[in-house]
Amino acid sequence: MNELRLITEGIGAWLHYEFCSNRSRLFSEKYLAPPIGTILSSIQPDGVHAEFEHQVLSSTMKGPGRRPAIDFVVSSSYPTPRVAIESKWIGKSAPQVHEVMRDLIRLSLLCSKFNTTCYFVLAGRRRRLEEYFCLPEFAGPQTARGKPILSTVSNRQHAVSLTPDPSYRVALLKKCFARFSDIQVPQRIISRRTEPFPHNAKSVEYQVYGWQILVPKSNPLFWPKRSKHFK
């Protein structure tokens, strides 16, 4: 069983157990931390860290203040992250789509610089997840044959551009690059989904999606601040 599948199925099974134990009112993004940490520690027994400083973004900050961090990292040789995980929860409230996109960019920076194996996890009730995947910012406008930022129906590799192509994504990316204007980012991000778990969940049951986030080796970097679209 590959690593991402193990993480996705482990979180999904744990959520169902907690739901059966009448603890679903506690569910939140923070509530995903225990299963992620436990599963990672079982797979990678050495060097598992929570809230690990983002080594690329923190290098651009000066003065006091909390440095950007990744939810979970496996790093046996500090400060190089070997595995990195970001997670989001969709409950009564949901993260803004640009916050999800920002997480993908944060992971892509680690993948590009350190060749880190990066995963993004999204969890919630199946009904709420499907509603979220239909949002125009996530899926792209139907009239423009929009392309989603992450594939939710296939395990094939899926590419999304971080340059203003397609143009309908400029507003979304502008929100993301508000924090990344002084750093080079990849032009494209590639994601690959593993099968959501449980794959046959009822609409009111909890489900977990997981993607590996990749950057093509030949993918050039660009400066968002030098693009007229993101100023």
Distance CA 176, CA 162 (A): 10
**Domain for residue 177, yes or no?**
yes
State the number of CA atoms in the 13 A half-sphere of 111 facing the CB. Answer: 27
Residue-wise pLDDT tens digits, 19-51: 999 999 999 999 999 999 999 998 877 789 999
Which pLDDT belongs to residue 65? 67
Q: Comparing C-alpha atoms, which of 101, 100, 109, 97 is closest to residue 186?
A: 109
Counting the structural domains of the chain, the total is 1
Confidence of residue 146 (pLDDT cuts 50, 70, 90): confident
Q: How far apart are CA 1 and CA 98, in angstroms?
A: 32
pLDDT at residue 123, rounded to an integer? 98
Mean pLDDT of the chain: 90
Structure confidence at residue 207 (pLDDT): 98
Residue 107 has pLDDT above 70, yes or no: yes
Q: What one-letter code names the amino acid at 200?
A: N
> In this predicted structure, what is the pLDDT of residue 199?
94
pLDDT of residue 100: 97
Within a domain: residue 129? yes
Say what the pLDDT of residue 186 is.
Answer: 92
Expressed as residue numbers, the domain containing 193 is: 3-226
User: What local confidence, expressed as pLDDT, does residue 163 receive?
Assistant: 85
Asked if the model's pLDDT at residue 1 lies above 70, the reply is no
Read off the DSSP letter of residue 79: T
Element (H, E) at 52: strand 48-53
CB atoms under 10 Å from CB of 135, counted, come to 13
Percent of the chain scoring above 90 in pLDDT: 67
DSSP string, 146-160: ---SS-SS--SEEEE
| Predicted TM-score (pTM) above 0.85 | yes
In a domain, 196, yes or no: yes
Tally of CB atoms within 10 A around 145: 8
Q: What is the pLDDT of residue 8?
A: 97
Q: Is a pLDDT exceeding 90 seen at residue 61? A: no
Inside any domain, residue 95: yes
Asked whether 35 and 14 are in contact (CB, 8 A), the reply is yes
* Mean pLDDT of the 170-180 span: 85
* CA 130/CA 36 separation, integer angstroms: 23
Do the domain assignments include residue 27?
A: yes
Cα 74 vs. chain centroid, distance in angstroms? 16
Predicted pLDDT of residue 228: 75
pLDDT of 145 reads: 67
What does the pLDDT look like over 111-132, one tens digit per residue? 999 999 999 999 999 999 999 9
Residue 231 lies in a domain: no
